[in-house]
Amino acid sequence: MKYPKHSFFILFYFCITLAILLPVASGCTDESEEAMETGIPATNMPVPLIVHSTVKNFTNENHLSDQDAASSGQPATRVPIEDGNITKFSEGDAAGIFAVRNIGTSTGVIVDNINNTKLLYGTSSEGSTWTPEAAVTLYYYEDVTYVAYYPYKENITIDPTKSVNEITASFATKTELQPATDQSTGELYTASDLMTASGQATDSSDPTKKTLSLAFTHSYSLLVLKTNVAKAKYKAPDGSFKYHPKVTALNADATATDVVIMDIKAYKIANGVFRALIKPAPGDYISGSYTTHKMLIKYNEALAGMAGLAAGQLFEYEVNVPIPGTTGATERALQVGDFYFADGTIWPGGIDTAEADPPKTIKDSPIGVVFMVGALHDGDRPSGGLYFGDPLISAYECKHGLVVSKDGISTSQKWSENPESVAYWLQDNPYLDLSSNILVDTGTLQGYTNTKVLEYYADNSSSGSQLHIISNIRQFRQYNPAPANSSGWYVPSYGEMSLIVSGKGKDTGTAGLTLLNAQLGKVYFGLKLNQYPFWTSSEYSGTQMIGVNTDTGAIQIELKANPKSMRPVLAF
């Protein structure tokens, strides 16, 4: 089975350097030509070269030297599983070094037979040091350039007549120094991490010694794959509604195996974290595969904004594999401010949640925001005395709450062209067993029933075509489908509109409006509630309807003939 891939983030790190300090001591500073050719100083008192090292990681941040790390109790090792992206050397590591006089000229020549001389890393009374092979000594000469590489391989040669840059670049062309196709162990991975450096000796604080500073840089690119499993983070207490499938908790996938990155068997440095070194290439993608939960996962992703990977560059890629079910998910009740999606799922957007802002990848999907939590059936009376009691809503089993649309209807049309009272018309044309005064509600949350009554009037009255509030809500439904398990969009009653604005039902104030506008501002194309007053489905008389002032939260009697805006709501 192949799961879709998800990219969560991409990081690049440049200028990866490993600074190697080589304090040099020689018997004298006035060498003869014989000393230059034979390696024996004129004083006949050679001083052995002591090589120390300091390191930098991929982010180019300074870190403790190996010597300091050891004294501070921190690991002084280059094993990646311990140091992440930090480059350090470990006991027994070997580097090769060349000494070249007149480098980059036709007279360039290897000096003192320092020709792929092996240096070993270890500890001594001098601290962490690099020591040449037995019977080999490095000396200081003014016109000698040292070129080094890591890891050491036998039979590596250079052309001393080439420039420093040409020589260091040539190491990456050597067959022996290519990144391995199998880097699945620490040893294989480390052996693929080619680094090069060059430099000339300088004076030190000790007049009997000279210092050679070599700044190593990585020759290859580092790719890091992070494998995660994405499990449901929340579940409804009674399981009656579902959270959005992307509301997940990511955990490192400890079961990921057989990881391949760009045709290379990758090295596991921690659960769900793998890495591989590759040659810099102009390609603009990363690809590979791995096995988890009896599934073969394949991935192929473009390197955003890049034409390829450069030497010393790090690229991280994350694969999140969704695991179905809600096992282990935390129970979370619906909250005002949650986001409601077209498939009826919820994205936690409550004020106290960490998921207050949906990811940009799905930001255009919410269709509204929850503004009331609770059932809408006859008899409920929440705190504050707001009487719910919508006579018809229970038929849809909408027991979770109310949602205000992220979009609205802003129109110059009137509530109605006809001054006729719908309540008066209902006396002779009853709708079901509802009272003819049903539209003259007292602040109940019965916009669904009100809208049904108004639609009945629009379809059966000779003046129904002039009821613009219904033609507008019907057009809105056509272009903004609601989930099948909801009531569908309807015109809110003044009680519902008051609740949207005040957040407290039949009360003044704009706390609800402030909260909802903050949430609507997080949704693409979210239209804030800043046009007042709004149409409602509550009728006051033949010529008037009941509106709500969004500046104060107070009800406001408005003429039906005046143009208004309207914000649909639904129950679910």
Residue that is written with structure tokens 């070249």 in the block:
100
Taking phi over 0 as left and psi of -120 to 50 as alpha, with beta for the rest, 263 belongs to: left
Q: Among residues 533, 535, 530, which one has the least CA distance to residue 469?
A: 535
Closest by Cα among 436, 476, 466, 468 to 453: 436
Which residues, 6+ apart, have CB-to-CB distance to 287 below 8 Å? 262, 298, 299, 300, 301
545 phi/psi in degrees, rounded to 5: -130, 170
SS3 call for 34: helix
pLDDT at res. 153:
96
Residue 315 token pair: 């690229």
Cα separation, 513 vs 355, in Å, equals 20
Burial of 82 (0-12, 13-18, 19+ CB in 10 A): middle
Tell me the C-alpha distance between 280 and 157, whole Å. 22
Could you give the CA distance from residue 359 to residue 214 in angstroms, rounded to a whole number? 45
Query: Closest Cα to residue 233, out of 223, 224, 243?
Result: 243
Q: Is the pTM of this model over 0.75?
A: no
R_g over Cα of the chain: 37
For residue 531 the two structure tokens come to 């046009």
What residue ranges do the domains of the chain occupy?
14-221, 224-327, 339-571
Going by DSSP bridges, is the β-strand pair 314-322/12-13 parallel, antiparallel, or unpaired? antiparallel
Q: Across the strands, what pairs with 208?
A: none
Dihedral angle over CA of 148, 149, 155, 158, nearest 10: -60
CB neighbourhood size of 237 (10 A): 11
Task: Say if CB 472 and CB 421 are below 8 A apart.
Answer: no
Q: Can you give the three-state secondary structure of 358-373, one letter per residue?
A: CCHHHCCCEEEEEEEE
Pseudo-torsion of CA 152, 157, 160, 165, nearest 10°?
-60
CB 403 within 8 A of CB 369: yes
SS (H, E, C) 446-501: CHHHHHHHHHHHHHHCCCHHHCHHHHHHHHHHHHCCCCCCCCCCECCCHHHHHHHH
| Cβ proximity of 367 and 405 under 8 Å | yes
pLDDT at 68: 29
- Residues 6 or more apart whose Cβ sits within 8 Å of residue 331: 234, 235, 236, 237
pLDDT tens-place values along the chain, 572 residues long: 332 333 322 222 222 222 333 333 332 233 334 444 444 444 444 444 566 565 545 542 222 223 222 223 222 234 333 355 677 778 888 999 999 999 999 999 999 899 999 988 877 766 667 778 877 877 777 788 999 999 999 999 999 999 999 999 999 999 999 999 999 999 999 999 999 999 887 766 676 677 777 888 899 988 999 999 989 999 999 888 999 988 888 899 999 999 999 999 999 999 999 999 999 887 778 899 999 988 999 998 876 656 677 888 888 889 999 888 888 899 999 999 999 999 999 999 865 555 556 766 666 679 999 999 887 654 444 443 344 567 787 655 678 899 999 998 876 778 998 888 998 999 999 998 888 888 887 778 889 999 999 999 999 999 888 899 999 999 999 999 999 989 999 999 988 998 899 887 556 688 889 999 989 888 878 888 876 678 899 999 999 998 888 888 788 898 999 888 889 999 99
3-state secondary structure of 181: coil
Predicted confidence at residue 464, as pLDDT, reads 85
Whole-number pLDDT of residue 50: 61
Contact 443, 387 (CB under 8 A): yes
- Taking Cα atoms as reference points, which of 60, 11, 5 lies closest to residue 305? 11
Identify the pLDDT of residue 255.
Answer: 94
Distance CA 175, CA 253 (A): 35
Q: For residues 486-506, b (16+ Cβ closer than 10 Å) or e, as one string? A: bbbbbbbbbbbbbbbbbbbbb
* Distance of alpha carbon 243 from alpha carbon 237, whole angstroms: 11
Q: Give the start-end residues of each E strand in 309-392.
A: 314-322, 330-331, 339-341, 346-347, 366-373
